[in-house]
Amino acid sequence: MEFIKLQTFDNYIEANLVLNRFLNEGIECYLKDEYTVTIDPLLSNAIGGIKLVIREDYIEKSIEVYNQMQLEKKQ
């Protein structure tokens, strides 16, 4: 079982909104470096931001869910 980075965020609020949506859809995922960026936001660029990491098996479903979220955001 491998995990891959799907998206990066500078903002922990947006990262958690996407994470919770994915978890509600049954996608196994987690946020990497969330606590580091939350504690010291100046480190965000140095470590590459907050990374949304998903299980490789869920890549297609996660892309569909993420695209749906972007459509909902525009409306």
pLDDT tens digit sequence for 22-37: 999 999 999 999 999 9
Its pTM stands at 0.86
Q: If pLDDT is split at 50, 70 and 90, which confidence band does 75 have? A: confident
Name the domain count of the chain. 1
Specify the length of the chain in residues. Answer: 75
Q: If pLDDT is split at 50, 70 and 90, which confidence band does 41 have? A: confident
pLDDT tens digit sequence for 3-21: 999 999 998 999 999 999 9
Q: Which domain holds residue 68?
A: 3-74
Angle 18-51-2 (CA atoms, 0-180°, nearest 5)? 100
Measuring CA to CA, how many Å separate 65 from each of 35, 36, 69? Answer: 25, 27, 6
Sorted by sequence, the CB contacts under 8 Å of residue 69 that are 6+ apart come out as 18, 21
23: helix, coil or strand? helix
